[in-house]
Structure 1
């Protein structure tokens, strides 16, 4: 087992292995083929250099034209953004998502409408209940008592809203001295 691990741990520089492969290949290539390869390599390097010079000239001309047209990085960004936004909006995924949200919104709206109707119905039921009517009578009685003590003419038989409104009106008219007098009685 130690011998096996030692074999894995042996370090042979990668360069030596590469050099051996290169040496083996170079032995199989003749001097004439090697010269042809070198000539081809030189031509390729020259073409690459020429292409770089042409590309640099074209990039410079491109920049000059953009400057003359008034195209700056911000307007390019805006144009690219608008194009991307349009492409996204016309995509199938966006349209499906939009339809899904629209359907969900309609269902949520219908559900909230149903909840509002149910709440209104419950308030109506509560207002017609005996305990609410008892509470309403007690409020009307208290307001009538307050009105008689303050000296405001009493309108008997008013609705609950009228009673609350008149109570608020009476409360606004009561001064601290009157409030103290009422508390003493």
Structure 2
């Protein structure tokens, strides 16, 4: 049971902190090879020296980045301009790529084929409607509708007042004769 209790503690100790060297962080987990005190002292001095060099290089890098930002500011290069240039360059790279050209050509051909297909379908539907309209059954139906229309409009256009009293449902007699309106008849 003690091993389980030590496990999490060892794990917490094995995570290196900022500035801590990997050998020191792994020391408790892995036993260090047998070395003399003198070798250990040399390694510690080398460790300090390397850490100082890293810090110096970080400071130099920060100074160079500041100088770069000052030069860009003096030249009028803003982060937005850089972003626009990067986007433009990326778009040019994409449009000149073989995959983009092939896809573009394929989509263009598909668009042309779709347009042609829609035109053909539209023509076919128009022809089918024309065929139906020219069919004898439709012509017979059309003649019957025309005959019915003629019969229904003939009494409405007649000036014979006797026809109006026969129960025709046209609105013209009602408008011309205010006494015959449905609301007045109900009262």
Give the TM-score normalised by the residue count of structure 2: 0.61
- Report how far residue 38 of structure 1 moved: 2.4
- What is the root-mean-square deviation of aligned Cα atoms in Å? 3.5
CA distance in 2, matches of 1:78, 1:97: 25
CA distance in 1, matches of 2:3, 2:46: 40
1:29 maps to which of 19, 26, 35: 35
Does 2:59 align with 1:64? Answer: no
Count of paired positions:
148
Give the TM-score normalised by the residue count of structure 1: 0.62
- Report how far residue 150 of structure 1 moved: 7.5
Greater fraction of residues in helix = 1
Which runs of 5 or more residues in structure 1 are unaligned? 1-5, 152-175
- SS class of match (2:4): coil
Q: Deviations over 1:106-152 (max 9, x none)?
A: 2222221221121121122122112332344456554698489389x
Aligned to 1:165: none
- Report how far residue 59 of structure 1 moved: 0.8
Aligned to 1:149: 157
- Report how far residue 10 of structure 1 moved: 4.5
CA distance in 1, matches of 2:81, 2:103: 30
CA distance in 2, matches of 1:91, 1:179: 78
Aligned to 1:160: none
| Greater RCO structure (CA 8 Å; 6+ sep) | 1
Does 2:121 align with 1:112? Answer: no
